[in-house]
Structure 1
């Protein structure tokens, strides 16, 4: 009897080890009930195994995850202290008694706080309202802006002393782009003003320091200003005592500022003679003419070709105070050239405006240059982040539900197949950075009155469409 008990004990121990292992498999997340349970009488030890999670508990777990994702996103928008220092880079010292305004980048861009800097140039806002924000400092009639980054300990603002001496203004280059359009000749003059003063100063004067001249009877269609590290902004051409001279009321901060003037002149018989006498003589002067047209002018030589335009430059070492040339012939608009070109051809870039102004300002990419894109992010940033967080949470929930619905059948002696790597999501960092910066600067310009409500609504609609596209990725 004892001899029979020993083999039974050994069999019982062996069965207990086997089903202890089975019970561990039962409690793992990869085990599912698709594998049949052993029918042996020794199956009792597996009765302690943890049953699969019910669908109700699975849904509750997903809801809890979504709740915490929303709570984290909402907490990130809570009010914050905004502190920093205003520094005058002209003198290299902090600026005391400077007026500082805190602007909330939501809704109508409200001013939510105002203070002045102390003797050390320091300021502080303790507004218990959600961001994002920007800080505006007005110094000697010129506004300066700085973003308030979430989690950033300080937001410092750099300002410059103002000089109203017009003799310090230097135009590095003037680029003239021509384009026939419905019996008229559309002209775009781009002036590249380089402010390299030392010590650094902002050039500004009441009514505008920069002035430009157009031919008699010309109609000015548009004025755009691209300040250093900013987007193009529409301005008004202010008339002066000289009927052919206008001014642009914009400060010229340190760095390069591009000023684009668009106007039209008669083009009867598909020919015109042009005399350019700039108020500020540039260091370099070039004319961009569509290749089907003819160009002639004393003192000019062709210096190259750019995207369907022949480029002519002044041969003299110094640009004279007045230059004259003649053009003739017709050429299709840039949009027509684009439609008729091959898929691999790169058409010249046109003006950022739409409607009649776009036809009046056909600026090729080589002439306009790349518009510098800043790296500022504020308005609607958290909206994008919340959408991305919700998408991530939803994806996590879908993966959980799929893992519960798809059983894993473990065959004896066969290792489970390696899971296929999930495709990597397309990079969105660059697009998100451009989107946030465009949103921030658009609100800044609308708040400061540099763009009209109609222009703001049109630009905002385009940015909202980009944001929706990004959120769906």
Structure 2
């Protein structure tokens, strides 16, 4: 029996003008066997809409305003949603780089480097607007980089596949993804040819608060003569070097040599626990367990950040992501989402087509739980919002896991039935 609400009502507010968003397209997207459009409508003069819900399951509500898309999850039983949108422009004052974080290690053969690079972009525009056009976020990769996976995370959203678009000059790319007010994160995983030494010449295209390089202790880091890197002094099983308040003209070159892999055993165990039904809170508790004397994970022993937003210490916020287990969970989890999908040509989320395949639903739900936990730890979610969002996601995750087990027992075990 269909237990979900038969309709979803909602209101769309333009937070640039603080007025109702009239005439915006609203679409209900069904998250099963890919992202499929279910029903659509438009907002009325007061920004209100009603969507028919013809089938049970997990849905997304998508609103398009000024060609940029805004999403809200709609788990089974959702009756109403409130969605905020913003006016958009190709370039918006107040957009800058929060951090460029590179995690570098050699592969087991020693003939290649594997790099996971995360870009944190903040939009502090006043009044708030979305930066969106032909190339909302541009970046460079090292020569010879072969992209293996990529993802984007909008403020308050879940990680989704978003393919970088090559631009005219070599190694120059852009994510066609809206930079909404708040913090947007991009992740690119790539491989580099390696003969025991590699010279990186990072190039930031906007003023960036922090550039960080994380690598195994068994490898050697040598900064360029004018590069402003300094080591992070926390005792961890990895080494990290940072440059702060970086401008586009600033030299950032460095050379890495030697071989080694970053420790991931603890996080992989946590990911497996999540696959067996652990909640985001359970996994976060496992990741944060132990004492400063016994915890040898990257970032272990740091405890809860005293200044999670980095108000007093610009580095504090990124300890969580770069050194902390939740940061590693996000990086590895997005990689799980993208495995097997690198050969697919998927339109970016910003232009309104599906980017989360059916086989990635469980991974997406677990990543959203991690995101909720992270937002709570960083003070972005109040206790009431945290409890509501976590409870809704846990219900959907349990249902998906139960269906997966039933499907696996009824099939030949070749894959989940979600």
Q: Name the TM tier (shorter chain).
A: 0.5 to 0.7
- Cα deviation for residue 109 of structure 1 reads 5.6
| Mapped pair 1:172 → 2:98 | yes
Match of 1:321 among 250, 269, 284: 250
The answer for the alignment partner of 2:89 in structure 1 is 163
Q: Which has the larger radius of gyration?
A: 1
Q: Does residue 1:203 correspond to 2:158, yes or no?
A: no
C-alpha spacing 1:107/1:249, structure 2 compared with 1 (3 Å): closer
Question: TM-score with structure 2 length normalisation?
Answer: 0.62
Q: Which has the higher helix share?
A: 1
Q: Structure 1 unaligned segments of length 5 or more: list them.
A: 1-73, 350-362, 374-444
Q: What's the counterpart of residue 136 of structure 1?
A: 62
Kept after mapping to 2: 8 A contact 1:348/1:365: no
Match of 1:309 among 238, 246, 267: 238
Seen in structure 2, the aligned counterparts of structure 1 residues 368 and 166 have a Cα distance that, compared at 3 Å, is farther
Q: Structure 2 matches for 1:13-412, cutoff 5 A? A: 74=1, 77=3, 80-104=6-30, 110-125=36-51, 133-148=59-74, 154-165=80-91, 168-181=94-107, 182-206=110-134, 208-268=135-195, 270-297=196-223, 298=225, 299-305=228-234, 307-314=236-243, 321-332=250-261, 334-335=263-264, 345-348=295-298, 366-367=321-322, 370=326
TM-score, normalisation: structure 1:
0.55
Q: Secondary structure at the match of 1:367?
A: helix
**2:355 corresponds to 1:450:** yes
Change in CA separation of 1:149 and 1:295 when aligned onto 2, cut-off 3 Å: closer
Q: How many residues align?
A: 308
CA contact (8 A) 1:231 1:371 kept: no
Separation (CA, whole Å) in 1 of partners of 2:319 and 2:165: 26
Please say if residues 207 and 247 of structure 2, whose CA atoms lie closer than 8 Å, have aligned partners that are also in contact.
no
Q: Secondary structure at the match of 1:230?
A: coil
Q: Is the 8 A contact 2:27 2:41 kept in 1?
A: yes
Structure 2, unaligned runs of 5 or more: 269-289, 300-317, 330-348, 368-396, 407-418
Q: 1:455 to 1:135 in 2, by over 3 A?
A: closer
Report the RMSD for the aligned CA atoms in angstroms: 4.1
Note if contact 1:212-1:247 (Cα within 8 Å) is conserved in structure 2. yes
Q: Structure 1 residue 161: deviation in Å?
A: 0.9
Residue 322 of structure 2: SS of its match in structure 1?
helix
